[in-house]
Structure 1
Amino acid sequence: MTALSVSTSSAATLRADALVIGVGKGPKGLVVADGAEVVAEAFEGKLAEVLSTLGATGAEGESVKLPSPVGVKAALVMAVGLGEVSDEGYSAEALRRAGGVAARALAGVKKAALALPAASTEEFEAVALGGLLGSYSFTAYKGGENGKAPVGELVLLTDRKGSKDAKAAAERATAIGEEINRARDLVNTAPNELNPKSFAAIAQAAGKEHGLKVEVLDEKALAKGGFGGILGVGTGSANPPRLVKVAYTHPKAKATLAFVGKGITYDSGGISLKPAGHNETMKCDMAGAAAVFASVVAAKRLGLAVNVTGWLALAENMPSGSATRPGDVLKMYGGKTVEVLNTDAEGRLVLADAIVRAGEENPDVIVDVATLTGAMVLALGNRTFGVMANRDELRGRLHAAAEAVGEQSWPMPLPADMRKGMVESTIADLANMGERMGGGLVAGLFLKEFVAEGTDWAHLDIAGPAFHEGAPYGYTPKGGTGSAVRTLVRFAEETANA
């Protein structure tokens, strides 16, 4: 991963391969942002004019490279767009995206200095995190000569007065950035390598490295414990399912959070096979479990004064002679029965078992995370995840946490009138399908049925933003994005500080 450091050197005198400055989009044209003063001076006050001549406008996502003028020791200058100029300055998200754009554009460079307009700790962390996320590259299956290597080192420039805050921001950004990239790696790993057993082994290895308590229930333990949902989904695969508990505890914690992640390491749809064109990216169906796992490790690395337990519900959904059929009835963990009407509605089955198990430990809040429904993508698009909860206040807290860290989310309802269609199985307590319209809400209502009375619970449906199939933008790569990690870490941090 790209190294991150802090320097109090002048932007003009620091030796680097590239120096990154920010520019904004003002009412009268391009505006050079704070932090670029020495570069502007070296261009004899004509930097904005030169950049405008080259077509720069200051819009988000733009990047323009210039040969360094006399007086600047970096080999080249890169100007990145920060978007519209306002009286409040630039948002943390604009700075994150600018850092990401710069890191992507400078792939192959050994050392780049970032002189973006960051004065506060929050702004420094945003620049640092954006740079680390933008430099991400998944090369596990590529030869050494394919593509450029990520930026070797990113240097945050600050004055001596702000160096302590900048270093603290860099440390936080490194911990969070590395865990987001851990989640991305897991999502991008080919499903012939990442299955429930190997995912569990990765969690065990991380537990040893970071001092986390990890427990793994294999297929025999799941059968003995009565985890009918996880077993029902995984029964058609040669790779048996797992339920993994990853626990972080803090001696001064006053609250306990349970994060539950859907971990379908490959989703064919089972007997209700997905149509052609819908299978190619289904390795990403474990993105919820990846986010939960990474968030627990991040909480430990940051030393948050809150207990966080991650539950990874891992299975591979495959069609075979032993697979669950539409019409089968599963006895879930905790005793409820579910008639399976569609085996491609499998995520809610593994989550239901894990939610009941998580609730037995009496956490203050349960939050589940899942690439659960295509209906949520239809409702909110590819960049926004839905937030549902059994309490409005909790739903609002999670939405606010997501917005604060730059993850797009939207509060969604759990309409009581939609529950009727879901529960009307003539032979079981519940059916795993309900009304076709509003399918994302139906899935949320199904999960709510497995939450213990009096337990606060929320559901994040990250089906849209978890896997990006288009061209990279900002700090978002093609492939796994690490969606929801920042939100979960922020929520844990706010809980610790409450």
Structure 2
Amino acid sequence: MSANHPISFNVISSDLKKASADALVIGVGKGADGAVLLDSPLTASTVKSLKESLAALGVTGDADQLVRLPGLPDTGAKVLVLAGVGKLAGTEITEESLRRAAGSAVRQLAGLAHVVLALPTTAVEQVSALAEGAALGAYQYDSLHSNKAGNKAAVAKVTIYSALAKDPKLAAALLRASTVAKAVNATRTLVNEPPSRLYPATFAEAAKDLAKGLPVKVTVMDEKRLLKDGFGGIMGVGQGSSRPPRMVKMEYKSDKAVADLALVGKGITFDSGGISIKPGAGMITMKCDMAGAAAVLNTVLAVAELGLPVNVTGWLCIAENMPSGTAIRPSDVLTILGGKTVEVLNTDAEGRLVMADGLVAASHEFPDVIIDVATLTGAQVVALGHRTAAVMGDDGVSAALKAAADRAGELIWPMPLPEELRPSLDSPVADLANIGERMGGMMTAAVFLQEFIGKDKNGETIPWAHLDIAGPAFNEGAPYGYTPKQGTGMAVRTLVAYVEDVVARSNQR
């Protein structure tokens, strides 16, 4: 797997000239009456001149707008860059606005080596947001083009100008930002890999490689082990491919754990639809159908690298869904781990079959919470579009994930699990069918998954939530903010923030 080159950071509060950067970035917001120049280290006379020129320069302050001007002698930078932060609400700029502006600027300034970000910061969290956005914006996939002569190298060094340069909390905040960004970028790279290079066996190897040097135990279950242990869902989906499936278990344990969490990720390395084959156009992006497993993998690694006091187990349910003489057929019945039977009415509803095995396996270890992440349904995109994921499940877990997503800067919206959808999954020959009511199909899929959540040691159903990231996991449009084209790394930041919130709530008791 190709690796993304890391970006280096430092923070200064004076001596702007000594930074000797290629570009100095200052912020411009979109106010009620036009563009607003944000606080910066520029001199008062320079600020006055710029304010008078904003309209003539076509500066609006819109998010993603980037205007380059000649550098000024008092800045030490070759280029002065005006970066839009979007609409302003009052005097305070949100962390996400700063994150997006930094990411947008660094992404668009590819080809320059060193950039200074001088956007206004009044809290360590805002400095961290700038660093995280910059690291996300610097991401580049090491493509397989034979001629890379015209490629612009990503920004390698970012200096953040802030009065908080000597704050004792800053080092830890920057470490978190770089760790989380590294996890997101590694997820993006896994998603971007072609299915000829990333298939179940190589995905499992990538998990082991990425975990090297971290206190994470990686167990790879091959097809013989899966068959022996009764993982009928993942074996059924994978049996049509020449590349057999894998279940990868990733365990991070802390001596000071305040909670035991289980994460389950869908890892379909390519989804043709199987015998219920997709139209040709519907297959083009189906290398991204393993984005949930990639997010789970890198969340476990990020939690381990940050040393958070929790136990986290990740279950990566990896298979390739292909049509062949050995593939499952509509009307086949599969026996999921634990014994429940499922009639397969549509082989393109395969993600829920591999996830069923993962959810049962996770339940067998009695975690405090189970969260699953999957590019599960096209209905999710119909309901919420390309940038907003859905969360469904227990109210408490769903609300906590929504709060974590809001803090992390990811878009997630809660959806219900209507009781009337469950009867549509009834089957005359098995415990349930793998498809049901077509309208509200995103919720029907979640109702199916809910059937495989087990009981805790007290006989109560384990708290659970399901994240459907089908739309926001893969960006088919133009890059924006810190989000590149193709794999986005969706859900990693939310899951890390959720784990941090679990720890914070424990400390408050």
Cα 1:414–1:45 change in 2 (3 A) is: same
2:458 alignment partner in structure 1:
none
Asked if structure 2 preserves the Cα contact closer than 8 Å seen for 1:118 and 1:127, the reply is no
Asked if structure 1 preserves the Cα contact closer than 8 Å seen for 2:12 and 2:165, the reply is no
Select 1:206's aligned residue among 203, 210, 221.
210
CA RMSD of aligned residues (A): 1.3
Q: Give aligned-pair identity as a percent.
A: 51
Asked if structure 1 preserves the Cα contact closer than 8 Å seen for 2:408 and 2:493, the reply is yes
Report whether the alignment pairs 1:64 with 2:67: yes
Asked if structure 1 preserves the Cα contact closer than 8 Å seen for 2:372 and 2:467, the reply is yes
1:58 CA displacement: 1.2
1:119 CA displacement: 2.0
Secondary structure in 1 matching 2:133: helix
1:480 alignment partner in structure 2:
487
Cα 1:161–1:267 change in 2 (3 A) is: closer
Select 1:23's aligned residue among 25, 28, 49.
28
TM-score by length of 2: 0.95
Select 2:466's aligned residue among 435, 453, 459.
459
Report whether the alignment pairs 1:115 with 2:121: no
Q: Partners in 1 of 2:150 and 2:434 — Cα distance?
A: 45
1:301-450 correspondence to structure 2 within 5 Å: 301-389=305-393, 391-422=394-425, 424-450=426-452
1:38-117 correspondence to structure 2 within 5 Å: 38-41=41-44, 43=46, 45-117=48-120
Deviations 1:277-312 (A, max 9, x none): 011110000000000001000001111111111100
Asked if structure 2 preserves the Cα contact closer than 8 Å seen for 1:107 and 1:135, the reply is yes
Cα 1:9–1:382 change in 2 (3 A) is: same
Q: Partners in 1 of 2:115 and 2:36 — Cα distance?
A: 22
Deviations 1:158-192 (A, max 9, x none): 23664433333221111000010000000000100
Secondary structure in 2 matching 1:344: coil
1:121 CA displacement: 1.6
Asked if structure 1 preserves the Cα contact closer than 8 Å seen for 2:72 and 2:78, the reply is no
Report whether the alignment pairs 1:290 with 2:290: no
Q: Partners in 2 of 1:227 and 1:146 — Cα distance?
A: 48
1:425 CA displacement: 0.6
Select 2:174's aligned residue among 170, 174, 186.
170
1:356 CA displacement: 0.2
Q: Partners in 1 of 2:419 and 2:92 — Cα distance?
A: 43
1:249 alignment partner in structure 2:
253
Q: Partners in 2 of 1:144 and 1:83 — Cα distance?
A: 34
2:229 alignment partner in structure 1:
225
Task: Give, as a single letter, the amino acid of the residue that structure 2 aligns with 1:243.
Answer: M
Task: Give, as a single letter, the amino acid of the residue that structure 1 aligns with 2:288.
Answer: C
1:3 alignment partner in structure 2:
8
1:79 CA displacement: 0.9
Asked if structure 2 preserves the Cα contact closer than 8 Å seen for 1:265 and 1:284, the reply is yes
Asked if structure 1 preserves the Cα contact closer than 8 Å seen for 2:124 and 2:164, the reply is no
1:94 CA displacement: 0.5
Select 2:37's aligned residue among 32, 35, 39.
32
Higher alpha-carbon deviation: 407-416 or 206-215: 206-215
Task: Give, as a single letter, the amino acid of the residue that structure 2 aligns with 1:292.
Answer: V
Q: Partners in 2 of 1:305 and 1:44 — Cα distance?
A: 47
1:40 CA displacement: 4.5
Select 1:126's aligned residue among 129, 132, 148.
129
1:13 CA displacement: 4.3
Count of residue pairs brought into register by the alignment? 494
1:207 CA displacement: 2.6
Asked if structure 2 preserves the Cα contact closer than 8 Å seen for 1:8 and 1:163, the reply is no
Q: Partners in 2 of 1:156 and 1:148 — Cα distance?
A: 22
Secondary structure in 2 matching 1:367: strand
Q: Partners in 2 of 1:473 and 1:305 — Cα distance?
A: 35
TM-score by length of 1: 0.97
Q: Partners in 1 of 2:70 and 2:171 — Cα distance?
A: 29
Cα 1:359–1:321 change in 2 (3 A) is: same
Asked if structure 1 preserves the Cα contact closer than 8 Å seen for 2:64 and 2:105, the reply is no
Q: Partners in 2 of 1:322 and 1:264 — Cα distance?
A: 17
Q: Partners in 2 of 1:115 and 1:317 — Cα distance?
A: 48
Q: Partners in 1 of 2:13 and 2:464 — Cα distance?
A: 46
Structure 1 runs not aligned, ≥5 long: none
Q: Partners in 2 of 1:134 and 1:342 — Cα distance?
A: 39
1:455 CA displacement: 0.3
Q: Partners in 2 of 1:375 and 1:481 — Cα distance?
A: 19
Q: Partners in 1 of 2:164 and 2:404 — Cα distance?
A: 31
Q: Partners in 2 of 1:464 and 1:444 — Cα distance?
A: 16
1:29 CA displacement: 2.4
Q: Partners in 2 of 1:328 and 1:8 — Cα distance?
A: 66
Deviations 1:398-452 (A, max 9, x none): 1111111111111000001110011x21100010000110100000000000001
Q: Partners in 1 of 2:313 and 2:331 — Cα distance?
A: 34
Report whether the alignment pairs 1:299 with 2:312: no
Asked if structure 1 preserves the Cα contact closer than 8 Å seen for 2:122 and 2:164, the reply is no
